[in-house]
Amino acid sequence: MITKTISFMLNLIIALMLFTVLYSAANVDVSVNINTSAYRGFTINGDNLTTAIPVEVRNEGLYPVKDVRVYLEILNGTEVLYSKSYVINEIDALQTYSGIFTVSINVDRLYQEIGTYYAFHRGVFKVKINVDAHYWVLADFKATYTKNLYWNPLFYAFNIYYNELRFDGSHINIPYFISKLPFPVRGNITVTVSDDRGALSFGESKIVFNKKAYLPAKLIRNANYLLVTRDTWIIHVNVHTNIGDFERVFKYHWNPPVSDLKMETIMINDTPYLNLEFKNTYYREINVSVVCHLDDLNVTVNKYVTANPGEVVRVPLFPVRYANGDFELIIRVINMNLEEKITSGGE
């Protein structure tokens, strides 16, 4: 009788212990504090992006949890960008382990993994935490926790100041602004300007960040037609850096400095004069030289005018009675080194 009682008590104790172990396994919890006051986001440390993720593993069971392994992954979709494992030796019963898990990602490698799209665009990555815990020899515990991690681009502004683009006859000077995170990025920037006639200019210089700078693109062919012709430019910018190459494409509508060009007759002191008229549609003041040569009389007329943006300019050339023979007219914008030649025969 005593033996049966002892056996019953032992079986009861074992059953209770098994129950409490299984109960404990069912009551272990994992929580990850991200985007709270305890999380400070990514910071820059040399060539690495680093962050500290506060992790809490709560053991709400009645027995210690041993050999707790925490696996942390940062995912872009299904692609693993970063992974690391951490070991917690033991968490006592009814206790919470609080730890800071440090993440350090080399930026060069990161952009090789995620591509250059995220250099200029925001994104949402995922932090995934897997926890494996072990109870005695009777039970194992697994838990998974995921959280979104919002990505800010390295370059958060890349603009061209169209209204300040300068043309000086040999170069197209393109003002640009690239703002970035305080990360040590180095490299060059190149630009090719093209229109429907082909490549117009090309330039290269070192990148300037976080302030306005000019990228000079040298003309590679004659561009005198830009004096009187509207044009559409494709500005292809390539950024070559130590973390990768990026490109941006801009469109620019060129307004010629001389438009609505025409010859007409006006009266000056009751004398009909041949008059040149044009409008400055450029955004800056232009200085214009007008040279007209009368072949029959072997006479050259020189005129100089200044035209403000939007101004219509009239330049009287010579009395109409002298226009019986052929003449040649050369219009030159001095501060842009562009010129247009007009002959009386329209050649």
Q: For 61-101, what is each residue's pLDDT tens digit?
A: 677 777 788 888 888 888 888 888 888 888 887 788 888 88
Residues 78, 185, 44, 88: is their CA dihedral positive or negative? positive
Query: Can you point out the beta strands (E) in 136-197?
Result: 139-151, 155-160, 166-167, 171-180, 187-195
Residue 191 one-letter amino acid? V
Residues 313, 318, 323, 327: is their CA dihedral positive or negative? negative
Residue 42: C-alpha distances to residues 105, 152, 182 (Å): 10, 10, 12
pLDDT reported for residue 35 = 42
Residue 324 vs residue 345, higher pLDDT? 324
Each residue of 193-202: pLDDT tens digit?
999 999 999 9
pLDDT at residue 32 above 50?
no
298-323 mean pLDDT: 86
**Do 2-151 and 259-343 fold alike per CATH?**
yes
Kindly report the CA angle at 139 between 138 and 142, in degrees rounded to 5? Answer: 165
pLDDT at residue 37 above 60?
no
What is the Cα 221 distance to its own chain's centre?
30
Joined together, the tokens standing for residue 287 give 């200085």
164-169 mean pLDDT: 87
Nearest to 166 by CA among 212, 199, 118: 212
In this prediction the pTM is 0.67
pLDDT at residue 33 above 50?
no
Around Cβ 111, how many Cβ atoms within 10 Å?
19
Q: Which residues contact 76 (CB under 8 A, 6 or more apart)?
A: 113, 114, 123, 125, 126
CA dist., res. 103 & res. 50, Å (int): 5
Domain residue ranges in the chain: 2-151, 157-254, 259-343
Indicate the SS3 state at residue 147: strand
φ, ψ at 71 (rounded to 5°): -110, 120
pLDDT at residue 250 above 90?
yes
Around Cβ 251, how many Cβ atoms within 10 Å?
10
Residues 103, 247, 177, 208: is their CA dihedral positive or negative? positive
Please give the order of strands across the beta sheet that includes 299-307.
Answer: 299-307, 286-294, 327-333, 338-343
pLDDT at residue 19 above 70?
no
pLDDT band for position 347 (cuts 50, 70, 90): very low
pLDDT reported for residue 8 = 53
Q: What is the DSSP letter of 222?
A: -
Quote the percentage of the chain above a pLDDT of 70. 82
CATH 3.40.50.2000 fits 2-151, yes or no: no
Nearest to 235 by CA among 261, 199, 184: 199
User: What class has domain 157-254?
Assistant: mainly beta
What is the Cα 108 distance to its own chain's centre?
17
CATH number of 259-343: 2.60.40.10
Pairing of strands 299-307, 43-45: unpaired
CA dist., res. 218 & res. 337, Å (int): 13
Residue 120 one-letter amino acid? F
Residue 173: C-alpha distances to residues 79, 222, 285 (Å): 42, 16, 17
Answer whether 159's CB lies under 8 Å from 177's CB: yes
Q: Please identify which residue in the block is written with the tokens 């040569």.
A: 293
Joined together, the tokens standing for residue 20 give 């409490």
Answer whether 175's CB lies under 8 Å from 159's CB: no
pLDDT band for position 121 (cuts 50, 70, 90): confident
